Amino acid sequence: MTTIVAEHETETRTSFGIESQVSDGELMLRIAKGDAEAFEEIYRRFARPILGLARRRLADPGKAEDATQETFVSIWRSAGSFRPERGTGSAWLFAVARNSIIDRARQRTETTLEEAPEQASSEPDPSEVAESDWLAWEVHTALERLPEREQQVLSMAYFSGLSQTEIAERLELPLGTVKTRTRSGLSRMATLLEGVKDRGEA
């Protein structure tokens, strides 16, 4: 484990820029003051998780992209309403994204107050959907915080199904380096995701 810890510490210093040390909440407060760089950093951290959430909830990729863009408009315009004492920046962003996605998904239909149509209950339990969305959000945002080289090997292993040997061949790296980065990435993910499963099941 000594090797892994050494690489972990080195990566924290060399791969994480100054912005990466700033919490999401601090960035939100800076955005509220019109800081475009903080806005870019929030985009870097959350664009893919937000797009992933939108794609889960909207069948149309174009609508998902629109909802993602609308989410960032909302973030820029209403960052002043973020209150650190009421929750984390990530939770606030999740709520903003969810509302933009619901808004995008809505259907403008002509119904009457007296005769609103009964809707079939074919959708999954909303609480399960919400829990699943939140779990994916936590994992995706944690993954986005990893150094690029750790994120790369974890994505290839978990999302492309490649073996460590195949990853090593594709990246032209020694097998030991791939395993070290995988351990380091998982270790960092474990820290970032500590208790997530318990919170999701609560």
CB count in 10 Å sphere of residue 88: 14
The single residue among 85, 110, 172, 201 that binds other proteins, judged by CB under 8 A, is: 110
* Interface segment toward other proteins; rule CB under 8 A; list 13-21, 22-30, 44-52: 44-52
Q: Which residue, 17 or 176, has its beta carbon nearer to other proteins?
A: 176
Q: Does 81 bind other proteins (CB under 8 A)?
A: yes
Determine if 114 is a binding residue for other proteins (CB under 8 A).
yes
Is residue 125 a contact point for other proteins (CB under 8 A)? yes
For the CB of residue 48, give the shortest distance to other proteins in the complex, in Å: 5
- Between 17 and 80, name the residue whose CB sits nearer to other proteins: 80
Q: Note whether 25 binds other proteins by CB under 8 A.
A: no
Of residues 12, 34, 174, 199, which one binds other proteins by CB under 8 A? 34
Work out whether 147 is an interface residue with other proteins (CB under 8 A): no
Stretch of 9-17, 19-27, 154-162 lying at the interface with other proteins (CB under 8 A): 154-162
Neighbour count for residue 84 (Cβ, 10 Å): 14
Q: Which is nearer to other proteins, 15 or 81 (CB)?
A: 81
19, 131, 140, 145: residue in contact with other proteins (rule CB under 8 A): 140
